[in-house]
Amino acid sequence: MSLPVGILDFVAITGQASARETIEASLEVARAADRLGYRRYWVPEHHNHLGLAFTSQEVMITRLLEQTEQIRVGAAGIMLPNWAPLKVAEVFRTLETMYPGRVDLGLGRAPGTDGLTAHALRNGQSHDDFPQQCAELLAFLHDAFPETHPYRQVVAAPVPEHAPEVFMLGSSDFGPTFAAVNGLVAVFAHHMTPQYAVPLLRGYRERFEPSPYLNAPYSIVSALAFATDEPDLADAALATWMLFKDKLGRGERGARAGLQEALDYTRTEQFAARKPSNEKLVFAGTADAVHERLTELASDCQVDELVVISPLGEQEHRLRSFELLADRFELPRA
């Protein structure tokens, strides 16, 4: 049986596109993903970044839910230290009420931005007790505060029939370990720290303790993947991610490289020197080759699902890539 596959979309501005054009393009991808049988469509939380087309997750998620019919949509994730648990519960319970059975709530403990912006987001307050925040959020989502807790009388209205599905995100040992001991779904970002994905996700399954939210381990790994029959485009996908990381390393937060800039970079000696190491991170090539590598990664990590991220932003090519991967993974089309 084929693995379920989801999509993580940074909604990153590419080349000279506007923020509005980028959002509309992502809505088109989400509609296609819905038809193609992808399980989930997630968007992240980032701030103070002009290279990304949105900062309000709840607004973007609502628009994505409006534009689709079956696919689950959610946050990957809400950076919980930036927000009050009650407010997060209210937002996602409202979404679940509006779109029952289709809302995902991924949680992270990183700020999703620089320290100054995090300070502004938090109104100068320090929120550094993630376990307590997570416990409060789960209690608000499930109306599960004990009788003696002061928040027992506080309701995160409205009250949907079922709570949104909760995921614990991570790119270090904290996320999988926290998910294991608290009985939550673990999601690991191979695209950020690929060297830790296999041992930490295997460790998650070994340490998992059942909880009221999950009675058996369930894990997901995300990876950069681009399927194409054109070798030049596969190289351009690699180059796009290299150039994006280079910009971040220089503290630049602008638009992602357009296709021509990426193609130009593939013709440089620097690209040739860096290509072998980056090929280990970015799975780019034919649909068969990318499917084989993703399947191997899933097997090595012992996960139940995959989430793929397109490093290339040009609409025609990423849509085609998602179609090729859907066919290769035999996803259940609508």
pLDDT digits (tens, 9 = 90+) for 165-175: 999 999 999 99
For the ranges 94-108, 124-138, 317-331, which has the lowest average pLDDT? 124-138
Helix ranges, 208-268 (H): 231-249, 259-266
Number of domains in the chain: 1
Residue 28 lies in a domain: yes
pLDDT band at 203 (very low <50, low <70, confident <90, very high): very high
| Residue 248 pLDDT | 84
Amino acid found at 81: P
Residue 255 Rama label (left phi>0; alpha psi -120 to 50; beta):
beta
Q: Give the whole-angstrom CA distance, residue 248 versus residue 2.
A: 35
3-class DSSP assignment, residue 100: coil
Query: Is 141 domain-assigned?
Result: yes
pLDDT of 127 reads 64
Look at residue 117 in the predicted model and tell me its pLDDT. 72
- Omega within 30 of 0 (cis) for the link into 77: yes
Residue 121, pLDDT score: 77
Assign residue 122 the CATH number of its domain: 3.20.20.30
pLDDT value at 2 more than 70 = yes
CA–CA gap between residue 17 and residue 86 (Å, rounded): 36
DSSP at 23: H
Confidence at residue 112, expressed as pLDDT on a 0 to 100 scale: 60
Predicted local distance difference test score (pLDDT) of residue 334: 75
Please give the helix or strand (H or E) that residue 76 lies within, else none.
strand 72-79
For the cut 60, the answer to whether the pLDDT of residue 1 exceeds it is no
Give the sign of the dihedral formed by CA 112, CA 113, CA 116, CA 120: negative
Supply the DSSP symbol for 124.
T
Confidence of residue 86 (pLDDT cuts 50, 70, 90): very high
**Percent of the chain at pLDDT exceeding 90:** 85
DSSP state of 153: G
Whole-Å CA distances, 59 to 21, 66, 91, 110: 16, 11, 10, 21
Domain contains 289:
yes
Give the model's pLDDT for residue 119: 78
* Residue 82 located in a structural domain: yes
Per the domain annotation, does 265 fall within a domain?
no
- The tens digit of pLDDT for each residue in 108-163 reads 987 666 778 777 877 667 667 899 999 999 999 999 999 999 999 999 999 999 99
3-state secondary structure of 60: helix
Asked if residue 264 is part of any domain, the answer here is no
Whether 248 is in a domain gets the answer: no
Residue-number span of the structural domain to which 179 is assigned: 5-231+283-328
Q: Is the pLDDT of residue 46 over 90?
A: no
pLDDT value, residue 114: 73
**Stated pTM of the model:** 0.95
Q: What is the pLDDT of residues 219-277, one digit of tens each?
A: 999 999 999 999 999 999 999 999 999 988 888 888 889 999 999 999 999 999 999 99
270 falls within a domain: no
192-198, long-range: CB < 8 A, 24+ apart: 194/280, 194/281, 196/171, 196/172, 197/221, 197/297, 197/300, 197/301, 198/300, 198/301
pLDDT tens for 278-306 read 999 999 999 999 999 999 999 999 999 99
SS3 108: strand
